[in-house]
Amino acid sequence: MSLKRIEHIGIAVKDIEASNKIFNDVLGTGAYKSEIVESEGVLTSFFQVGPNKIELLQATHAASPIAKFLEKNKEGIHHIAFEVENIQDEINRLIQLGYTMIHEKPKDGADNKIIAFLHPKDSNGVLVELCQEKPTMGV
Ligand code: CO
């Protein structure tokens, strides 16, 4: 088991500007980064909370997973992300155990990470993200 920690909690929001202000008030610190992830159709902002982060997610178009989530759910917790040492090893381990991965190969995520999601049908309705710091090339 190469699971290291809860890296971040993802929160689906409708209006990221308004939510940035709310979380700025609640956490007493502003977002350190805002980033669009084209492949996921999301605009994100990140807040540091000690060794962990809060990721706010707003859909950038109607087919975005966040738009779909907000059709069925209210704004709120969308996923929990665990940092792992070797993401492909973890994906393989879970597939071996019979779990369904939304991504069987890691893909680029926000905040310099490669990521993969576990299907929530296999994890009590909780969308689980595995993430790993993007390996640096040629160093
Ligand atoms: Co995330």
- Cα(129) to ligand 1 centroid in Å equals 6
The pLDDT of residue 138: 59
- Cα(77) to ligand 1 centroid in Å equals 11
Confidence of residue 65 (pLDDT cuts 50, 70, 90): very high
- Cα(124) to ligand 1 centroid in Å equals 18
- Cα(138) to ligand 1 centroid in Å equals 26
The pLDDT of residue 135: 82
Residue indicated by tokens 């060794």: 51
Q: How far apart, in Å, are the Cα atoms of 76 and each of 56, 101, 131, 137?
A: 9, 23, 21, 36
| pLDDT digit string, tens, across residues 78-122 | 999 999 999 999 999 999 999 999 999 999 999 999 999 999 999
39 against 28, higher pLDDT:
28
Q: Return all residues near 3 (Cβ < 8 A) that are at least 6 apart.
A: 82, 83, 84, 90
Q: N- to C-terminal Cα distance for the chain?
A: 27
Q: Is the pLDDT of residue 72 over 60?
A: yes
Confidence of residue 74 (pLDDT cuts 50, 70, 90): very high
- Cα(36) to ligand 1 centroid in Å equals 12
- Cα(96) to ligand 1 centroid in Å equals 24
- Least Cα distance to 52 among 76, 77, 33, 80 occurs for 80
Q: How confident is the model over 28-44, as a mean pLDDT?
A: 95
Q: How far apart, in Å, are the Cα atoms of 28 and each of 25, 47, 77, 96?
A: 5, 10, 20, 43
The pLDDT of residue 2: 82
pTM of the model: 0.92
Q: Are 101 and 116 a contacting pair, CB within 8 Å? A: yes
- Cα(56) to ligand 1 centroid in Å equals 9
Q: How confident is the model over 45-63, as a mean pLDDT?
A: 97
The pLDDT of residue 136: 80
